[in-house]
A and B are shown apart, each in its own frame.
Chain A
Amino acid sequence: MRAILADARRRLLAGAARVAAALGAVLLTVVYWLVLGPVALTLRLLGVDLLGVRGAPSTAWTPVENPDPKSRLEGAG
């Protein structure tokens, strides 16, 4: 009996994961078109170059800020 219940639970969780993945994909598609899309178009109109692919720079090096070693380790961002 316990094995049958465990198997049923495993199948239920697997099914739920598939439904969650499908719902997630739908939600992310909506976010992509309704949130990212307008942001992307606005930035494009303003000429913002987030990836550094336009213009004619003389270098691709970017200077790096070097805070003190201890504070450099703080925070995930």
Chain B
Amino acid sequence: MNILGLSFDYHDAAAALVVDGVPVAAAAEERFSRLKHDRRLPARSVEFCLKRAGLAAGDLDAVVFYEKPFRKLTRILAGAVSTFPSSGALFRRAMGAWIDERLWVGPRIEAALGVAPEKILYCEHHLSHAASAFLCSPYDDAATLTVDGVGEWATAAIGRGSRAPFRLSLDVEMRYPHSLGLLYSAFTAYLGFEVNEGEYKVMGLAPYGTPRYAEAIRGMIEPFADASFRLDLDWFAFHRDPVRAFSRKFEDAFGPARAPESGDPAGDKRLCDVAASVQLVCEELMLGLAREARRRTGSPNLCLAGGVALNAVSNARLLREAGFGSVWIQPAGGDAGGALGAALYAAHALGKSPARYEMRSVALGPEHTAAEAVEALKAAGLPFVETRGEDDLCERVSGLLAGGKVVGWHQGRSEWGPRALGQRSILADPSPAAMKDTVNAKIKFRELYRPFAPSVCAGAAAEWFELPRDPAPDPYRFMLATARTRPDRRERLAAVTHVDGSSRVQTIDPVQSPLFHRLAESMGRTTGVPAALNTSFNLKGEPIVETPADAVATFLASGMDALAVGPFLTTGRPENPQPRRQTWDSSETPPGASAW
């Protein structure tokens, strides 16, 4: 069976194609459109998925949308009714968007793909998340925990899955407006970051502070013995305001909110303390929810998804403290991942005997030819050499990195999910402390306080980091959890060790990522550290690059020293460089659209 999963209309539109139970292609629309968090119907992602599989839209057995839109509408109307008369602006904004497009999900899919209406199906939001984790995991049976801002009504759900016979159920759910994701997003907005984009900046800011506001934040929450909770809505505005997430009471307690993207938040102790406090409370709530999932299901395995599952610090605590023997986390934990989950769920619900699938690699995106790379380099007037195979490429690149150069790395199929894991990465030497500032300021043009991640050979990871066990659990393969850098190694990993001694480690598997592993090995031979500083191949505010032409454009727009696209390596610059481009177009996601 050929099943296409789709997510769109909110943020991070994506498409995923599952053939006989196995994902063959998946990509977020932003990679093609160059609009960060592009929310529109992912026509280009669909085109890529079908082309990759050699299919036409007529070959699809089903197209599955990742949530139930009418059920979501009932929640928005209930919210507007319950907060009358202060929800007028929210009602107008939300209904405008719904009348314009969101009510017509089915007809829009029909029009875009030309599929019959009876082939269009709808999978509940949290069921899509749960499927994206369980049906990609190695487990026969597992508990599922999904936590995000909000889907239709649910904001978190505990369920269980089994493969034979197939069953994936949600046992209990917490409902809007009581939401860990929306709590975290309210603080994201308060700290001056964009909701649905800046949550990881809050996580990165937290180690600069002390959690002195944690008690005040706990006071916003009414906890129950079974780890569920209700939010005290006096603190929030997201349920009645289309733009503002927090109420005046918030600022009375924590001081004035930071103006969006203003100044250096790490230089303001109060803001750092607020970030540390909400991060701590988030970890406590997630641990509680995970332990409750364990208690309810009795399973030793946990599958985790939803936007909050991208909180790497919380995940690290969960791996150590939640009581599960094994944890698997969907690398595309946000709404984009819902497209894959919806397609996988349908494949198992409708298919006779779908193949068993385990996600060992996230390389599900497009791949580009050598001819495309050459064309992009030539078009930019860049001098380049063709390396003599992968060993030569890795030796040359590791030599550049060891010499303090920053290298763009564009190899193979692009990654599924928000993390660059060695296919579309900017690489640097992880040792010199100054490298962090260099890459932040000269390459990415982003806030200086933000940390970078190390990618390390899986076999050597335990020598450098304090991992829960050796070999590292699966979430480390996808850069989904932090670990402490061993104290005696911190000097050698100064550029990738955060102020609290932690790192968001990626362990590189030699089988799944042979080229990237070879590069890290080469770094080990050259510098003594089998790792590289690895950050996503983009500039601040832009999607990760997709094509060689995107890579060349970003290379030219930044201060990178070299670029490796496939086997081709350039260290030069054109004689008449183009003016540096700051960003592509900005996101079309409306502000504050997280809840409606």
The chain B residue sitting closest to A61, CB to CB, is: B172
Is B500 among interface residues, defined by CB-CB distance under 8 A?
no
- Shortest CB–CB separation between residue B127 and chain A, in angstroms? 7
Most buried by B among A33, A57, A59, A64: A64
Is A15 among interface residues, defined by CB-CB distance under 8 A?
no
Q: A53-B177, A76-B68 are in contact. List 14 more A-B contacts (CB 8 A).
A: A21-B96, A25-B92, A33-B85, A59-B226, A60-B174, A60-B228, A60-B230, A61-B226, A62-B174, A62-B175, A63-B172, A66-B170, A73-B346, A76-B106
Is B124 among interface residues, defined by CB-CB distance under 8 A?
yes
B interface residues with partner A (beta carbon < 8 Å): 62, 64-65, 68-71, 74, 77-82, 84-85, 88, 91-92, 95-96, 99, 105-106, 121-124, 127, 157-159, 166-178, 224-226, 228-230, 233, 239, 345-346, 348-350
Residue contact A32 to B239, C-beta cutoff 8 Å:
no
Q: 6 nearest interchain CB pairs?
A: A77-B70, A69-B349, A40-B84, A60-B228, A61-B172, A73-B121
Residue contact A69 to B168, C-beta cutoff 8 Å:
yes
Residue contact B230 to A62, C-beta cutoff 8 Å:
no
Residue contact B81 to A76, C-beta cutoff 8 Å:
no
- Shortest CB–CB separation between residue B150 and chain A, in angstroms? 12
Our pick among A33, A59, A69, A75 for the contact of B348 (Cβ within 8 Å) is: A69
Q: Report if A73-B224 is in contact (Cβ < 8 Å); known contacts: A40-B84, A51-B79, A66-B169.
A: no
A72 vs B84: C-alpha distance in the bound complex, in angstroms?
A: 33
- Shortest CB–CB separation between residue A17 and chain B, in angstroms? 10
Interface size on A, residues (CB 8 A): 36
The chain A residue sitting closest to B90, CB to CB, is: A32
A25 vs B77: C-alpha distance in the bound complex, in angstroms?
A: 16
Residue contact A51 to B122, C-beta cutoff 8 Å:
no
Residue contact B172 to A53, C-beta cutoff 8 Å:
no
A48 vs B569: C-alpha distance in the bound complex, in angstroms?
A: 66
Residue contact A51 to B173, C-beta cutoff 8 Å:
no
Q: Which of A19-55 contact B (CB under 8 A)?
A: 21, 24-25, 28-29, 31-33, 36-37, 39-41, 43, 49-53
The chain B residue sitting closest to A68, CB to CB, is: B349
Residue contact A64 to B169, C-beta cutoff 8 Å:
yes
Residue contact B226 to A36, C-beta cutoff 8 Å:
no
Q: Report if A64-B171 is in contact (Cβ < 8 Å); known contacts: A37-B84, A39-B81, A51-B78.
A: yes
Give 12 CB contacts A-B under 8 Å. A28-B92, A32-B92, A39-B81, A43-B81, A51-B78, A53-B177, A57-B224, A60-B174, A61-B173, A64-B173, A66-B169, A76-B122
